[in-house]
Amino acid sequence: MRIVAALFLLVLTLYPARAIELTVGDEEAVKPVRTLVAAFIQPGFERFAEQAELAEIAISSLCEDPGERPLEAARNAFKDSALALARVEFLRTGPLAQENRLERLLFWPDRRGIALRQVQAVIAERDESVTDPANLPQKSVALQGYTALEYLLFGTGSDALAESGDAFRCGFAHAVAANIHTIAAELSEEWNAENGFAAAWVNPGPENDSFRNIEEAISEMLSIPSEAFEIIRDQRLRPIVPGEDGKANPKGALFWRSDLTMPFIRASFDALRAYYEVSEMVSILPEDQRWLGKSIEFEFNNSRDILTRLQMPVADILDDEDRSGELGYLVILTQSLQQLFGTQVTAALGLSVGFSSLDGD
């Protein structure tokens, strides 16, 4: 990853650095951040909390009255909740970056299969403590979130949830769903807190410990999509794209059991496009650099076209040479979008580019 960062710095030397042109004042320059928080981030976390609550209710109903239809309803509610997460989980700043909330919600990547082993061990041991939502925050993060809940609802033995004989597994699933709902509610509350992170972000200044000036606030806004596309590329796509040996690993995909791999990625792309469009960040670019907006839209359109064709189980994609090739092209598009946000737009604004938080040492 340091090679990528070095390339970013090289590109910065190719684009003449200039300070943000505040020709209409600081208030206008910070407007994209204000709009983004009020029209995208806060409603996004509110929807996530609502969907998480509905998933908890559906799983509770399944446990109280097992059956095929309640199980189907619980599985559908899980999917809706996970897709709501996809629309906000790339906002890895402020509340989501605190108290291990991200890891507790989504323990991923999990290259060693830790979550699977831990969940299976708990099921085998019938550890009743995991059926109480109050106990889960003290447990391993691998037992607290969506990857654990997916296995409980879709993994081996999950069909027995439609019968009355698997109260333990259902109780475990309900506790996880309740834990997710609690975290989601906390996130929504903190993003709406009067003196919380959102207030600090939209009111940069010398007395602000988080954002001392408008440049820091804008840099934060631009760093989020840049890092998000790096996450999609390296943690969601590359693990499943066939390597040089031609071998593919569909079970290395996030949410393969629930066939949610590609819908989750598409939801992330759709949310990132909304993030870009709602903020109208192009409006603060110098006039002679606003062509970058067309480049960003072009790559978003390419990505949308590919993702529209790839809404199917990941195993089916990898079994089809043409579709597998499109998956590889999607990797290239994430790289392009990452560079547009993290290199070219920031360079046009004269902002510095640091190392990604995902970089190793």
Output b/e per residue, 167-184; b: 16+ Cβ within 10 A: eebbbbbbbbbbbbbbbb
Torsion over CA: 249, 308, 316, 318 (sign): negative
pLDDT of residue 352: 62
Identify the pLDDT of residue 358. Answer: 54
DSSP conformational letter for 343: I
Q: Quick one: which H or E segment has residue 34?
A: helix 31-36
Query: How many residues appear in the chain?
Result: 361
Question: Torsion over CA of 22, 26, 29 and 31, rounded to 10 degrees?
Answer: -160
Percent of the chain that is helix, strand, coil (3-state, to 5): 70, 0, 30
Q: What is the pLDDT of residue 166?
A: 84
Placement of tokens 């402020």 in the chain: 94
DSSP string covering 288-307? GGTHHHHHHHHHHHHHHHHH
The phi and psi torsions of 162 (rounded to 5 degrees) equal -80, -5
- Of 1, 22, 4, 8, residue with least CA distance to 349: 22
Task: Summarize pLDDT for 345-356 with one digit per residue, the tens.
Answer: 999 988 865 445
- Amino acid 19: pLDDT: 43
Enumerate residues 6+ apart whose C-beta is below 8 A from 284: 20, 21, 29, 32, 218, 349
Local confidence pLDDT in tens for the 361 residues of the chain: 334 334 433 433 333 334 444 333 467 789 999 999 999 999 999 999 999 999 999 999 999 999 999 999 999 999 999 999 999 999 999 999 999 999 999 999 998 999 999 999 999 999 999 999 999 999 999 999 999 999 999 999 999 999 987 899 999 999 999 999 999 999 999 999 999 999 999 999 999 999 999 999 999 999 999 999 999 999 999 999 987 777 888 999 999 999 999 999 999 999 999 999 999 999 999 999 999 999 999 999 999 999 999 999 999 999 999 999 999 999 999 999 999 999 999 999 888 654 454 554 3
Q: What is the pLDDT of residue 356?
A: 53
- Contacts of residue 177, defined as CB under 8 A and 6 or more positions apart, other chains included, come to 52, 55, 56, 59, 60, 78, 81, 149
3-state secondary structure string, 169-213?
HHHHHHHHHHHHHHHHHHHHHHHCCCCCHHHHHHCCCCCCCCCCC
Dist CA 313 CA 311 (whole Å): 7
CB 257 within 8 A of CB 150: yes
Q: For residue 15, which of 323, 267, 342 has the smallest C-alpha distance?
A: 342
Q: For position 164, what pLDDT does the model report?
A: 85
pLDDT tens digits, 42-99: 999 999 999 999 999 999 999 999 999 999 999 999 999 999 999 999 999 999 999 9
Residue pair 176/151 in contact by the 8 Å Cβ criterion: no
